[in-house]
Homo-oligomer: A and B are copies of this chain.
Amino acid sequence: MSERPRRVAVIGTGVIGRSWSRVFTRAGCDVQAWDPQPAAVSAAVAWHTREVARDRDEPAPAGNASDGRLTPMRTLQDAVAGVDYVQESGPESLPAKRAIFAELDVAAPPRAILASSTSAIDMSAIADGLSGAQRCIVAHPVNPPHVVPAVEVLGGRETTAETVDETIRVLRAVGQSPVILTRYVPGFLVNRLQMALVREALSLLSSGVATADAIDAVVRDGLGLRWALLGPFGVANTNADGGVREYLTRYRTSIEGLMADLGESPPLEASFVEGVGQATDAMEAGAPRDEVREWRDRLVSRIVALKRADPHPTRTSD
């Protein structure tokens, strides 16, 4: 399969699963969706209908072809019938993932890829003992995947190189930006990098250096504007005329000093968390959460569209 898959199963239709369904239908794939709770599937279908209507008003970044169909299915077995690719987004626990992958491995066509949205669990543990372990893989999105392109791709011990390659091809074909990890590490890349920033933010807040709003502002009106375009290596590479080598050499003393001086987060005890909550309320009190999420998704989509219209001068991997 060099093109997008014709038919895809979305297993688990919560916030992540329903977003995946839109990734696939937007790319022209027919999606068969299932969730152990029938009400969750109905809610996902209703959400999907609204998203399709919204995309008609504002063309989505990956907008192409005609939309595929989203079909709610009554059983997991029905959902995986005839599919090329399965995206699982069930509960984030090893026993739950093991149970569902055992079912998927029996029911799905032998050549279908079985991908999990897990943000933390090693595929070696999920697929351990399955006869189809070689086709099982992690494809962890950044929430929500129909808006944010990056997807972490990581096999387990028995996952074949063919499965990794095919997963990359599928994700690219539906407009995502797959990123390959070579081995398991807790939190993968996304949550480790996110937690590095969160840890320092919590440390700065708890030491009283600045408000939550100030800490957030230097990110959203400063560092984050560059990070939407260039990662830490790309930024460092523009920070000196001689690139990242000159940057790390010329400023070595101050960079090493700052890195050594970074803080630890206090334990997340109830009283500390309440303080963080109040500091965050002071920043955006009264903002209805769903309205903020809709704003975030609308603007992220537009930023992605800006980047696709005017890409990095030489990078080909975006």
Contact = CB atoms under 8 A, between A and B. Distances in A.
B214 A254 contact: no
Interface stretch (A4-12, A44-52, A127-135, A300-308): A300-308
Interface stretch (A26-34, A159-167, A269-277): A269-277
A57 interface: no
A236 interface: yes
Given A230-B296, A234-B292, 8 more contacts: A148-B226, A193-B219, A196-B197, A227-B228, A228-B299, A284-B314, A292-B313, A295-B310
Interface residues of A, number: 117
Interface string A208-243: 111111111111111111111111111111110101
Nearest to A15: B241
Copies in the complex: 2
B306 A299 contact: yes
Contacts of A200: 192-193, 196
A54 interface: no
8 contacts: A152-B218, A179-B217, A193-B219, A219-B230, A221-B318, A224-B227, A238-B293, A292-B312
A261 B312 contact: no
Contact of A217 (B177, B214, B256): B177
B229 A256 contact: no
Given A180-B210, A190-B223, A216 B233 contact: yes
